[in-house]
Amino acid sequence: MTDKVVLSEQDWQIRHFIYQFFVEHGRPPAIQETGGHFSLDDEEARQVYHRLHQRHTIFLEPGTDRIRIANPLSAVPTSYRVVINNRTLWANCAWDSLGIPAMLNADAQIEARHPLSGEPVRYAVTAGELQADAGVVHFSLPARAWYDDLIHT
């Protein structure tokens, strides 16, 4: 159960480092990069990644030690491209595409694809306000079920 995993202060510092690195480089750090930053060997860093994953603070690519998601950021290109200060980041869904500019307190241009038609959809966040044509975002599952299949939810 996720609430039984206890995170240390260093685990939380590593989580913060993961987010900083992700935003700066457009990708999450590998275990070796995180370990090097914190003077941890690969196994110690791997254990931290797995504790963070168990607590749902990051999501590892299934069967690996690679970070796939650090909400709202995606390590793989998706249908939700978020451009902030000429830097491209990928969001996991429409909701996360708004979460990235909120997290960074920055303006953003967002290019998405309609999930059914594939048509491009463009919107922006300027000074904390959504700039978009009328539209609807539909979540087919309640939030409590999203983590059941996080990649395809």
Domain boundaries, the chain: 2-68, 74-134
CATH number of this structure's domain 2-68, picked from the four choices 3.40.630.30, 3.60.21.10, 1.10.30.50, 1.10.10.10? 1.10.10.10
> pLDDT value at position 134?
72
Mean pLDDT of 74-86: 96
Total residues found in the chain within this entry: 153
Mean pLDDT of 69-76: 97
Q: Where residue 64 falls among pLDDT bands split at 50, 70, 90?
A: very high
Nearest to 121, CA basis, from 135, 107, 129, 111: 111
Residues 6+ apart with CB under 8 A from 71: 59, 92, 96, 99
Does 2 have pLDDT greater than 60?
Answer: no
5, amino acid identity: V
> What CATH code is assigned to 74-134?
3.15.10.60
Neighbour order of strands in the sheet with 73-74: 59-60, 67-70, 73-74, 87-91, 80-84, 108-113, 120-126, 129-131
Q: How far apart are CA 111 and CA 90, in angstroms?
A: 10
